[in-house]
Amino acid sequence: MTDSTAARPDAPREVRLVSRPVGWPTPLDFELVASEVPDVDEGQIRVRNVVMSVDPYMRGRMSAAKSYAAPFELGEAMSGGAVGVVEESRAEGFAPGDHVLHGFGWREVAVLDASGARVIDGEAAPASAYLGVLGMTGLTAYAGLTRIADIREGDVVFVSGAAGAVGGAVGQIAKALGASRVIGSAGSPEKVRHLVEDLGFDAAFDYKAGRVSAQLREAAPDGIDVYFDNVGGGHLEAAIGSLRLNGRVAVCGMISVYNDTEPAPGPRNLARLIQTRGRIQGFLVGDHYDLAGEYFGQAAGWLADGTLTSRETFVDGIENAVDGFLGVLKGENTGKMVVRL
């Protein structure tokens, strides 16, 4: 990542996209620059960010291709979830010192309309939790399980990318909602142990250690009712092969193909959906914010009694934010990847 901040060492910094990645992003696609912080207008707040989120979906916004969200503009600061402290407010309901959740990450200081921020309780949970299990991550897991996968008491649930932020939340929430067995896949023996020993998964396997389909059949010999897909590719094909009658697949992400330069082949066994009367449905958490109050109310209780826990991987400093993002794409994180500013 190019660093052009030397001429103004005391100015707050931001990360800009300077070229659209082809295949895997590299540090050369980004630039760290000294930012120009605008004056605070009526209805706005100025926030000094404390933590920011880096997420797989951001890779899609680095492309100019039409998608569900507008692409990042070249030469401008990127955006994403962040928690910060209000330094100046010209908006009712926000005061200096308040901790707020908002969407202007990738910068140390942000000026934004107060309508795009939410005051959080910085004493109830760490700020980073509001980027994870108490934020969009947890809501994604909950909406995918309840509304898309229609989880039912006694279901056998399989989740890929289970050691990531969403995947770890999916497994725990599925158990809280009555799943009889939860199985996860992850990319190392250490992550597999984390899923079983720390997060309470009933079984987990290292997808690098053998064929996913064979390992899934061993973990769920009688099949699965729900598959929560974060990976796509061979994982999706394996899950379809293990679906039971009326099985459901909630497609949240397909990180295995995000950096492909050629279209990835689709599952070869889609015809099995006819036999099982199975259903596959993709979703975006932004369509399900009406569930936020319901979820956050339950999540607070689950956190308090230990039903729901979270693990985070931290990188420090905005100058290392790109490394953190690239680490997410490579599976270097366990739980939520968070950049501490």
CATH fold for the domain made of 136-286 = Rossmann fold (3.40.50)
Do 258 and 60 meet the contact criterion of CB atoms below 8 Å apart?
yes
Q: Please list, in sequence order, all residues whose beta carbon lies within 8 angstroms of the beta carbon of residue 30, skipping any fewer than 6 positions away.
A: 1, 2, 15, 16, 17, 18, 322
State the Cα angle at 192 between 207 and 179, rounded to 5°: 95
| pLDDT per residue rounded down to tens, the chain (341 residues) | 888 787 677 899 999 999 999 999 999 999 999 998 999 999 999 999 999 999 999 999 999 888 888 899 999 999 999 999 999 999 999 999 999 999 999 999 999 999 999 999 888 889 999 999 999 999 999 999 999 999 999 999 999 999 999 999 999 999 999 999 999 999 999 999 999 999 999 999 999 999 999 999 999 999 999 999 999 999 999 999 999 999 999 999 998 887 876 777 789 999 999 999 999 999 999 999 999 999 998 998 998 899 999 889 999 999 999 999 999 999 999 999 999 99
**Domain chopping of the chain, boundaries:** 2-132+310-340, 136-286
The whole-angstrom separation of Cα 8 and Cα 4 is 9
Class of the CATH domain delimited by 2-132+310-340: alpha beta
pLDDT for res 7: 63
